[in-house]
């Protein structure tokens, strides 16, 4: 308890300078929504930190293809504060707010094909490389050691523990008989999501991109599941979709087949939204609590100091909760993917059912 | 809301980057680990089986040993008993023999004694007879004056000899 108090008081001291430096901005109100969305959304540069006078950002390449003016390559530093360059402008509002739009001569905006290496794209690449390094270095140990040697300790032992937790808890029971075929894919999926979730929680540069809170990323992961399910689904699976065991009047106007067909697409959609929404919500809460410090700091030291302490406490709590969520969401995504794959191989169960009926 | 709008560029980056990494890990990453761990599990199972069998065999050997020991003990007891029996038998036999031979010796000795006694008696008798004869000679020489007396004496002497015998 003493130690906790000690740490809290230390953290309070760390918060003080922020409060002291604030008065000059007293006339500006804190734009909570703007801050949160700035962190949640993708951007063309990677903001690392702000000092009193300048902001340190990593500027990323912008790659655009417009139907009107063809390919454009430039660094995002050229966009400047206005956010416009070479006839492109960052949209302030609308469906593509925050993305670069081509300004037509008549003033309308046209969405170009945007292949820019954005913050999220760079985050994806960093996470992918990190994942590759982690897993391949683990695999290297296994390649260099014999099965008769004692089990590894340390990090590799931890990896083995997690891999076999996923294997035994998720993959084996959910996929069923053919689990070995899909295990590597599902393991990769689990580790990618888990690592990305964790990286999203670390606020400093190489980490910190909101990868799994980006709907395009979760959509891609769900697409992997979608293809794994539908490309490797067996005949029974397609039969259950197109001609299920149901009364004939449910099939002749194809009500059930229609529902089942929609089901093919709702499954990955649910996966997409679940992961995206969970990560977005977690990040939003942490960011809101962070902003709370800056808001209450304006109300003077009497309110600001205890509120900052409370916010800090909740931020720590939320971060722990997010650690849990990072794991749970990776677990859930992998488990649902494994279950969908398992459902696409119903032959075994079907035969058993028939045997029982007979 | 733009947050819910999947951006094509991000999707493409993700599909390329994650696609490559997924391919690498699915092909060369995880299978190596899972195969090896499966092999190790198999090895552990086998080792456990072997250990179990070895234990069983050890237990078998133990009981075998115990049985052997028991058997040996029984054998030892039997041999000891046999030896004791044999000893008793030998002793009894020896005793018998000793007795027999003793008796024989005693019998022989008795026979010898009897014979010697007889011999002694015989020689004694002879001596007595000789002495008697000498005495008689002298008596006869002295008393051979009367015939009647002489004849009476001879008769009496013959009777004596007869009854003395």
CA dist A241 and A267 (Å) reads: 14
pLDDT computed for residue B73 by the predictor: 95
- In angstroms, the separation between the Cα of residue B52 and the nearest Cα of chain A is 18
Q: Which of residues 224-263 of A touch B (CB under 8 A)?
A: 224
- Sequential pLDDT tens for chain A (358 residues): 566 656 555 555 444 444 443 444 444 677 888 888 878 888 888 888 877 777 788 888 888 888 878 888 888 888 777 777 777 888 877 777 778 888 887 877 788 888 888 888 889 999 999 999 999 999 888 888 887 888 888 898 999 899 999 999 999 888 888 888 889 999 999 999 999 999 988 888 788 788 888 888 999 999 999 998 888 888 888 888 887 777 777 777 778 888 888 988 999 999 999 999 998 888 888 888 888 888 888 777 788 888 888 888 888 888 898 899 899 999 999 999 999 988 888 765 555 555 555 4
For residue B45, the model assigns a pLDDT of: 92
pLDDT at B146: 64
pLDDT at A22: 40
* CA–CA separation, A197 and A207 (whole Å): 10
C-alpha to C-alpha distance for A174 and A183, rounded to whole angstroms: 11
Measure CB to CB from residue B13 to each of A40, A124, A280 and give the nearest one. A124
Residue in A97, A128, A143 closest to B18 by CB: A128
The alpha carbon of residue B34 is apart from the nearest alpha carbon of chain A, in Å, by 8
Note the pLDDT of residue A16: 44
Q: Which chain A residues contact residue B48 at CB under 8 A?
A: none
Q: What is the pLDDT of residue B88?
A: 93
Would the CB atoms of A219 and B20 count as touching at under 8 Å?
A: no
Q: What pLDDT is attached to residue A344?
A: 85
Helices (H) and strands (E) in chain B, counts: 3, 0
Distance from CA of A4 to the nearest CA of B (A): 38
A61, A69, A152: which is closest to A105 by C-alpha? A69
Answer yes or no: do B29 and A220 touch at CB < 8 A: no
Which residues make Cβ contacts (< 8 Å) with residue A326, sequence separation at least 6?
A194, A197, A198, A200, A201
- The total of other beta-carbon atoms located within 10 Å of residue A146's CB is 10
Are B33 and A142 spatial neighbours (Cβ–Cβ below 8 Å)? Answer: yes
Tell me the ipTM for this assembly.
0.79
Nearest CA in chain A to B30: A184
- CA–CA–CA angle A294, A296, A301 (5° rounding): 105
Residue B92 has a pLDDT of: 94
- Please give the Cα distance from A234 to A176 (Å, whole number): 14
Mean pLDDT (chain B, rounded): 86
Write out residues in chain B with pLDDT < 50, as ranges.
1
Beta-carbon pairs below 8 A across chains A and B? 145
Determine the pLDDT at residue B128: 80
Q: How far is A168 from chain B (nearest CA, A)?
A: 12
What does the pLDDT read at residue A3?
A: 64
Are the Cβ atoms of A114 and B9 closer than 8 angstroms? yes
Contact status of A118 with chain B (Cβ, < 8 Å): yes
Residue A83: count other Cβ atoms within 10 Å of its Cβ.
15
Residues in chain B within 8 Å Cβ distance of A183: 30, 34
């Amino acid at each position: 308890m003493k130690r906790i108090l000690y740490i809290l008081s230390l953290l309070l001291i760390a918060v003080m300078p922020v409060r002291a430096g604030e008065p000059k901005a007293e006339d500006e109100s804190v734009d909570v929504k703007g801050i949160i969305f700035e962190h949640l959304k993708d951007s063309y540069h990677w903001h690392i930190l702000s000092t009193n006078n300048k902001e340190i950002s990593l500027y990323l390449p912008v790659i655009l293809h417009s139907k009107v003016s063809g390919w454009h390559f430039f660094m995002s530093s050229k966009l400047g504060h206005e956010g416009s360059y070479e006839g492109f402008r960052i949209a302030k509002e609308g469906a593509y707010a925050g993305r670069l739009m081509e300004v037509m001569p008549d003033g309308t905006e046209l969405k170009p094909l945007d292949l820019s290496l954005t913050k999220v794209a760079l985050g994806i690449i960093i996470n992918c490389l990190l994942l590759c390094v982690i897993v391949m270095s683990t695999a290297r140990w296994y390649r260099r050691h014999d099965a008769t040697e004692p089990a590894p300790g340390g990090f590799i032992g931890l990896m083995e523990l997690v891999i076999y937790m996923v294997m035994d808890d998720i993959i084996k029971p959910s996929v069923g008989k053919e689990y070995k075929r899909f295990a590597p894919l599902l393991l990769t999926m689990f580790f990618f999501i888990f690592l990305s979730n964790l990286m999203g929680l670390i606020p400093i540069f190489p980490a910190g991109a909101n990868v799994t809170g980006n709907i395009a990323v979760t959509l891609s992961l769900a697409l992997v599941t979608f293809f794994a399910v539908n490309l490797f689904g067996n005949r029974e699976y397609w039969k259950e979709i197109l001609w299920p065991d149901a009364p004939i009047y449910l099939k002749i106007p194809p009500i059930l087949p229609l529902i089942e067909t929609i089901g093919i697409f709702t499954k990955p959609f649910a996966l997409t939204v679940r992961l995206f929404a969970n990560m977005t919500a977690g990040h939003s809460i942490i960011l809101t609590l962070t902003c709370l410090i800056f808001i209450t700091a304006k109300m003077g030291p009497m309110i600001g100091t205890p509120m900052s302490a409370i916010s800090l406490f909740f931020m720590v709590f939320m971060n722990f909760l997010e650690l849990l969520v990072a794991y749970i969401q990776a677990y859930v995504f992998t488990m649902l993917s494994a279950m969908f794959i398992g459902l696409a191989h119903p032959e075994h169960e079907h035969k058993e059912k028939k045997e029982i009926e007979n | 809301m733009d947050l819910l709008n999947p951006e094509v560029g991000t999707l493409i980056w993700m599909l390329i980057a994650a696609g490559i990494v997924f391919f690498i890990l699915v092909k060369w990453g995880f299978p190596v680990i899972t195969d090896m761990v499966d092999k190790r599990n198999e090895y552990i199972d086998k080792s456990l089986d072997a250990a179990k069998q070895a234990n069983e065999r050890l237990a078998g050997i133990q009981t075998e040993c115990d049985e052997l020991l028991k058997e040996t003990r029984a054998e030892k007891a039997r041999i000891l008993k046999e030896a004791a029996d044999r000893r008793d038998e030998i002793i009894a036999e020896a005793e018998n023999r000793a007795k027999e031979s003793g008796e024989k010796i005693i019998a022989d000795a008795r026979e010898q004694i009897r014979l010697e006694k007889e011999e002694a008696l015989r020689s004694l008798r002879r001596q007595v007879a000789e002495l008697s004869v000498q005495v008689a000679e002298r008596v006869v020489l002295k008393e051979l004056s009367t015939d009647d007396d002489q004849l009476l004496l001879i008769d009496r002497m013959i009777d004596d000899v007869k009854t003395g015998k």
